[in-house]
Amino acid sequence: MENNRGWFPVARVEEVVPRHVVQAQILGQEVAVWRDDAGQVNAWENRCPHRGVRLSIGINDGKELRCQYHGWRYASGSGQCTYIPAHPGQKPANVIKTKPYGVTERYGFVWVNLGEDADVAEVPALGLNAFTTLRSIYVAAPAAAVTGRLEGQGFAPAGDYTLEGNGTTLLIQPMDGGQTIVHGLAAGEAEGAERLALLRRHNELLTEVRDAAEREAA
């Protein structure tokens, strides 16, 4: 059984759009995910190191993330603070930086790892060459309840936080003790009307699972 070694998908690659900040959460920790104009993706602790304001309400200007509170700017990649508007002539101290998490893109998803020295080689190998990413479904229920419901729908565990069945691989993102996101990939690269039909079918199935899991959790 594959151990995910702390790597979790948080969003489909196409959903980390330019000039936007995605607000994600893994195991109780909020993460701000954003892509610079050169395409590099960042995953940072969702908290400005100055006064703790969520970076996800800040501005992605294509090169830097600007905090909404005091306009402090942080460079893509390093997370280094490059500019403090209250002191425009001064270079910010090196110690002022956001906390970056491990981040990579694989199988059509952005994966994040909260651990230090996360190794991208340890992103689970899903054994998929051609695939179609599906809509991610948020469930207001614990991961175990969601997994239990999925097993009842023909999916079998295939690793930590992974299930397979019905030609689909499901990836579980535990947000916290009571919230879960289910990401999915269908084998094969679907296109056009066929793809839309696949997306809708999967969405319908997972919505039923969601409703059942939430009724149970209530």
Dmax over CA atoms of the chain, in Å, equals 62
183 binds other proteins (CB under 8 A): no
Of 36-44, 83-91, 110-118, 146-154, the segment contacting other proteins by CB under 8 A is: 83-91
Smallest distance, Å, CB 110 to other proteins? 12
Q: Is the Cα torsion angle 195, 155, 138, 35 positive or negative in sign?
A: negative
Q: Which residue has the tokens 């306009």?
A: 71
Judged by CB under 8 A, the residue of 25, 82, 104, 166 near other proteins is 25
214 binds other proteins (CB under 8 A): no
Rounded Cα distance between 148 and 1, Å, is 18
145 binds other proteins (CB under 8 A): no
Cβ neighbours around 72 below 10 Å, total: 25
Which residues lie below 8 Å from residue 191, measured CB to CB, with a gap of 6+? none
19 binds other proteins (CB under 8 A): yes
47 binds other proteins (CB under 8 A): yes
DSSP 168: E
Backbone angles phi, psi at 200, to 5 degrees: -70, -40
Judged by CB under 8 A, the residue of 2, 5, 13, 54 near other proteins is 54
Interior CA angle at 200 toward 154 and 212, to 5°? Answer: 50
3-state secondary structure of 13: helix
69 binds other proteins (CB under 8 A): yes
Of 34-42, 93-101, 105-113, 157-165, the segment contacting other proteins by CB under 8 A is: 93-101
Contact positions toward other proteins, by CB under 8 A?
A: 11, 15, 17, 19-20, 22-25, 30, 46-47, 49-54, 57, 59, 61, 66, 68-71, 84-89, 92-93, 95-96, 135-136, 138, 140, 179, 196, 199-200, 203
